[in-house]
Amino acid sequence: MVSGSLSGGGGGEGFTGRAAIGYDHGYDGEVFYLGLALDPHYVDGWVEGCLERIGEDHPEEELLFRDLWEDETQREVVIESLKADCEIRTGRPSDL
């Protein structure tokens, strides 16, 4: 299970490192790399990117996912739901 909290992206201070890469993949690329799935920074950034993308058209859905994400027992459900709308790629991006 991935743990951590969403911090960065969309609000005050932005993400850095793997979290920034995850954010870009979730928001712009709509892609999830299985090779980075165990990196909590990547996953946090990816989830934040996905939620911001969803919130542009469906703010209620974004809030529902954020509420679920806050419950650590529901994080895998959120990740799997968001992955359903993304392209899943094995390995890691070539620039890493």
Q: Is residue 34 part of a domain?
A: yes
Structure tokens at 28: 């712009």
In a domain, 26, yes or no: yes
- Residue partners of 68: CB distance under 8 A and separation at least 6: 74, 75, 77, 78
Domain presence at residue 12: no
pLDDT tens for 18-39 read: 889 999 999 988 999 999 999 9
Tell me the per-residue pLDDT of 36-79, one tens digit each, with 9 for 90 and over: 999 999 999 999 999 999 999 999 999 999 999 999 999 999 99
Tell me whether residue 95 is in a domain.
Answer: no
In a domain, 59, yes or no: yes
Q: Could you tell me the residue range of the domain that residue 83 belongs to? A: 17-89
Say how many domains are in the chain.
1
Residue whose C-alpha is closest to residue 52's, from 16, 5, 3, 10:
10
Report pLDDT for 29: 86
* 2 located within any domain: no
**Confidence class of residue 7 from pLDDT cuts 50, 70 and 90?**
very low
In whole angstroms, how large is the CA radius of gyration of the chain? 12
